[in-house]
Amino acid sequence: MTISVEEVYETASMILYQNLDIRTTTLGINLKDCIDSDFGKFREKVYDKIYSNAVKMVAHAKTLEMKYGIPIANKRVSVTPVSLIMESHCEKNKFIEMARTLDKAAADAGIDFIGGFGALVQKGLTRSDRMLVEVLPDVLSRTDRVCSFLNVGSNVAGLNLDAVNLLGGMLKLTAAKSKNAIGCAKFVVFVNAPEDNPFMAGAFHGVGEGDIALNIGISGPGVVKTVVAQNRECDLTQLSEVIKRTVFKITRAGELIGRELAAALDIPFGIVDISLASTTAAGDSVANVIEAFGIEHIGAHGSTLAVALLMDAVKKGGAMASGNVGGLSGTFIPVSEDEGMIDAVQAGALSLDKLEALTSVCSVGLDMFAIPGDTPEETINAIIADELAIGIINNKTTAVRVIPVPGKKAGDLVAFGGLLGTAPVMAVNRFSAKNFLKRGGRLPAPVTSMRN
């Protein structure tokens, strides 16, 4: 079997010029076996298990980067939902201590984010779940690497509105306690959260998972944009085909790295998440892909169709490339981390309402967007509840990562720095759903027939 010059060049160009990388290798670690009635010993076991495994992963990942000449942008860890392992140590200080332990283990092992400081509350909250939500403003503002999630609904449980109603206040407090409200960037609220998602801030090691697993997140909006730009004249069917072929190739690269890394660590290979994920780097933008389709700015009428086409083609190409596709697998459209999204908001092309519409066909949801600091907490809860309802009714994962920035108003710009980018503050609807949301309770699980 010979590989042609053109094929070698195509791969090399993807990496050198189109920002192809392995976005993340995320080690999922079960912490249930660390539980101990002695809290000191408990923390020690948690630290040791995370550190010893993570440090090996970081070293082997570096070797593979060299072998294949492909950057592995982030090395991360996800753990068992922390509220679950803290049930018998349900005290505020102990939760904060545990968060510090996770933060330190990650820092010492060279891990940039550790996910899983969260809870599964789709049906109801335990005392430990409530305590976790209560300490989140302190945890998110006082630690650097700890990421948090809540799963507040599912197709089979419905939507836990009582849990949603805790979040607006929690997020505003987190924003007030952290510089530029950055703590809010480390918290995601989900429905139908996948248990093997490798992407932060929402990664956790699900209770249905084994002791340890290696999950891979690929990337490549720059690669897809290039191939779309080279095919300006083709119709939608052909466009879908060229995207499928490209996503097949980049998913195979992820599969290769994942399998070899798992084998080197002698642990099971979990999943490849084939999501197109933007970064703040120039050209690494999902919005730019949509624009290369022929849309002036993402957010213009026609964008929902474009995102739907992109999303479906990505899934088809990825599913052919790997038998282990999992996680979120689709297309992320975070605002602050994607230069095309930022431009679209600033140009007036993309409003919060259109962003919500786009999320009904993208893989995740309303991600990394800033809203005015004086937004009432009930309105934040309502934004979250709307987005999550889309997921519940459409059998899909949806999520919200919202940043209410104190002192900022619509049109202002907030720089988070680094991977988190810059967010233009988006206007929210000024009318209230307060009296609806205060009813509380649970949206019943939807009927699964009559799906029109």
- Cα–Cα distance for residue pair 340/356, rounded to 1 Å: 17
Asked if residue 3 binds another protein (CB under 8 A), the reply is yes
What are the two backbone dihedrals, phi and then psi, of residue 74, each rounded to the nearest 5 degrees? Answer: -135, 140
Identity of the residue, 246 or 336, whose beta carbon is nearer to another protein in the bound complex: 246
Asked if residue 16 binds another protein (CB under 8 A), the reply is yes
Tell which positions 66-95 bind another protein, by CB under 8 A: 66-70
Tell me the two tokens of residue 89.
Answer: 């140590």
Q: CB of residue 276 vs another protein: minimum separation in angstroms?
A: 17
Q: CB of residue 219 vs another protein: minimum separation in angstroms?
A: 15
Helix (H, G, I), strand (E, B) or coil at 191: strand
Asked if residue 5 binds another protein (CB under 8 A), the reply is yes
* Binding-site size, another protein (CB under 8 A): 26
How far, in Å, are 232, 240, 298, 318 from residue 237 at the CA level?
Answer: 13, 5, 21, 17
Identity of the residue, 72 or 157, whose beta carbon is nearer to another protein in the bound complex: 72
Identity of the residue, 247 or 341, whose beta carbon is nearer to another protein in the bound complex: 247
Identity of the residue, 116 or 217, whose beta carbon is nearer to another protein in the bound complex: 217
State which of residues 7, 87, 144, 374 lies at the interface with another protein (CB under 8 A).
7
Identity of the residue, 70 or 119, whose beta carbon is nearer to another protein in the bound complex: 70
Asked if residue 450 binds another protein (CB under 8 A), the reply is no
Tell which positions 37-66 bind another protein, by CB under 8 A: 66
| Cα–Cα nearest to 288, from 250, 238, 338, 246 | 338
On whether the CB atoms of residues 344 and 369 are closer than 8 A, the answer is: no
Asked if residue 436 binds another protein (CB under 8 A), the reply is no
Asked if residue 33 binds another protein (CB under 8 A), the reply is no
The 8-class DSSP code of residue 447 comes to: P
How far, in Å, are 170, 173, 200, 281, 404 from residue 139 at the CA level?
Answer: 11, 11, 16, 29, 17
- Cα–Cα distance for residue pair 447/155, rounded to 1 Å: 9
Say if residue 277 is preceded by a cis peptide, omega within 30 of 0: no
State which of residues 109, 132, 253, 341 lies at the interface with another protein (CB under 8 A).
253
Asked if residue 250 binds another protein (CB under 8 A), the reply is yes
Q: CB of residue 66 vs another protein: minimum separation in angstroms?
A: 6
Residue 332 — left, alpha, or beta (φ > 0 → left; ψ -120 to 50 → alpha)? beta
Q: CB of residue 250 vs another protein: minimum separation in angstroms?
A: 8
Asked if residue 263 binds another protein (CB under 8 A), the reply is no
Asked if residue 1 binds another protein (CB under 8 A), the reply is yes
What are the two backbone dihedrals, phi and then psi, of residue 382, each rounded to the nearest 5 degrees? Answer: -70, -40
State which of residues 129, 255, 291, 387 lies at the interface with another protein (CB under 8 A).
255
State which of residues 256, 300, 427, 433 lies at the interface with another protein (CB under 8 A).
256
Q: CB of residue 248 vs another protein: minimum separation in angstroms?
A: 8
On whether the CB atoms of residues 389 and 159 are closer than 8 A, the answer is: yes
Identity of the residue, 43 or 315, whose beta carbon is nearer to another protein in the bound complex: 315
For the residues of 68-95, what is the DSSP string, one character each?
HT--EEEEEEEES-HHHHTGGG--HHHH
Pairing of strands 422-424, 413-415: antiparallel
Asked if residue 13 binds another protein (CB under 8 A), the reply is yes
- Cα–Cα distance for residue pair 268/399, rounded to 1 Å: 28
Identity of the residue, 9 or 436, whose beta carbon is nearer to another protein in the bound complex: 9
Query: Near another protein by CB under 8 A, which window of 8-16, 264-272, 290-298, 361-369?
Result: 8-16
What are the two backbone dihedrals, phi and then psi, of residue 22, each rounded to the nearest 5 degrees? Answer: -85, 115
State the residues that interact with another protein by CB under 8 A. Answer: 1-13, 15-16, 66-70, 249-250, 252-253, 255-256
